Structure 1
C-alpha cells in the first residue's frame, strides 16, 4: 500500500490552532459565566428567584449525573491503561521499523525512481491502474509519464 501525504503549511496549522484555542476559551468563558450566574442567583436571591430556578433543577441533576458517569468512565479507562502498562508492557515490544529506501518502494510498485520522486513532490497525482492492479499511467501536476505496462483497461484513482 502506498500512502501519499502532503504537509500542511505552518500558516494554516497556526490558523487552525488559534481558532481552536479561541473556540475552547469562548466555551469555557460562557460556561463559567452561566454557572456563576446560577450560583449567585441561588445564594443571594429571594424566594421568588429560587422558585424561578425550580424548573431547572431536574436538568441540573441530570447534567450532574452525566458528568459523574463520564468522570467515572474516564477514571476506569485511565486505571485500566496504567494496569495494562504496568503488567503487560513486556508482551508488546514493538520492533524497530527498518527504513525503506526509495528504490525498494519504486521496485514494489513497478515504478522508476523518477516517477516515484515525481509522485512525492507533486501536490496532485492521478494514478491509472490496469486490470491486474498494477500502475498503468501517472498524471501529476508537473509531468505525465507512461508506464512500461501494456494494460488496455485503465481505472482512474485520484490521490491528493
Structure 2
C-alpha cells in the first residue's frame, strides 16, 4: 500500500500539535464507510500497538462523546465528568489528561473525524492551548480531505494493470 503525501503531512501536523501543546500523544480517528464508527488511522507518540486497532463508537470514551455530540470534550484532574479509566485510548496509551475535537461534519451532523491530544504527565490543558489546537483543525481537515480524494483516485486509476 502506498503512502500518500497528505498522510505524511497529517502525521507531521500531529507532531507539530503535540510540540505546541506539550502533548505526548496525538491521534486522528476517521469515519469508517457505511457505519457510525471511527478508527484511529493516524497516530503520533503512541506506545501501544492496541491503539490502532481500537474503534470509536458513539458515547464510548472521550472520542465517542465527541462522535455522539459533535463538540470538544476533555478529561483531566479538573474536569468533573468522565474519568480516564472510561476511555479506551487513554487506558491503552496511559494518558492522564486528554482533549478531543470534532472535525467538520461529512454527513448528517456526524463529525468527519476526531482529533485527540493527550498527556501522560497529568497536567491539564489550558484554555489558550485548547484554542491553539482548535485553530489547527481546518488545516488537519483539509489534509484529511486531500488524503481521501487521493485514495479514491488511486482506486479508480490503479498503478498496475
TM-score norm. by structure 1 comes to 0.25
Higher strand fraction: Structure 1 or Structure 2? 2
Higher Cα radius of gyration: 1
TM-score norm. by structure 2 comes to 0.25
